Amino acid sequence: MTHTVKPLVAGNWKMNGVRSSLAEFANITSGVSSALASKVDTMICPPATLTYLFAVGAVGTSIAVGAQDCHTADKGAHTGDLSAGMLADAGATAIIVGHSERRADHGETDAVVNSKAKAAWASNTIAVICVGETEAERKAGKAVEIVAGQLAESVPDGADAQNTVIAYEPVWAIGTGLTPTPADVAEIHTAIRSKLVDRFGDAGNKMRILYGGSVKPSNAAELMAVENVNGALVGGASLKAEDFLGILKAYA
């Protein structure tokens, strides 16, 4: 583990949650002690309908609230879309961009993801930029190549530890229960770190690289101990306070 980088554990609620979910969120915020908060940063990214409510609920706690996506433009005729500025106005301090589900379900290209990251920065929010290979790409021995390509094209110039977090999510491990071995994770995270340092110099050493893909309390400690893993982007296990707090215990 890179000890010079404070880890971040972020929960991506995806298309889950209604107003009554504030109770579960309150269980999460109250479960993070000041001692734990000194060791690890925490964030929940609820659906956009709950951003403001959660941001209000997080006041006075150590938990940050993020968003799951944004439009590339700051305003305009884009029915149904939300700009980074709107999400920031609702209380989001970070925005996930380029999640594999956005890439697959909405055909988002690296260029679109790059533009969304810039939009996040323009609204003073952190861009959590996702990369990851499919099962077919991994079986073909192309995992490192695919991730390196996404990294090169999705991360804008000017990225640093203050405005950018990288999240590696092997597509085949999301919600499937399949998890790469620590050696698999180490290989990709080391490759990502190397690419970041090559491109951004020392800033690349300080950027957080999160692991995501079937992270749960039972495997969190092992995965979080892998070199160049600076936290997790958690899906389903972030919906329940008990599970999310169980993952955070990897840093207790």
CB 82 within 8 A of CB 116: no
What share of residues in the chain are helix, strand, coil (percent, to 5)?
45, 15, 35
Q: Which two tokens stand for residue 83?
A: 């700009």
Greatest Cα pair distance, the chain, in angstroms, is 48
Select which of 71, 99, 108, 189 is catalytic. Answer: 99
Q: 105: burial class by Cβ within 10 Å (0-12, 13-18, 19+)?
A: exposed
Instruction: Write down the residue that tokens 């329940």 correspond to.
Output: 240
Select which of 101, 137, 169, 189 is catalytic. Answer: 169
Known catalytic membership, residue 133: no
Known catalytic membership, residue 99: yes
Number of H helices, E strands in the chain: 12, 8
Query: Where in the sequence numbering do the catalytic residues fall?
Result: 99, 169
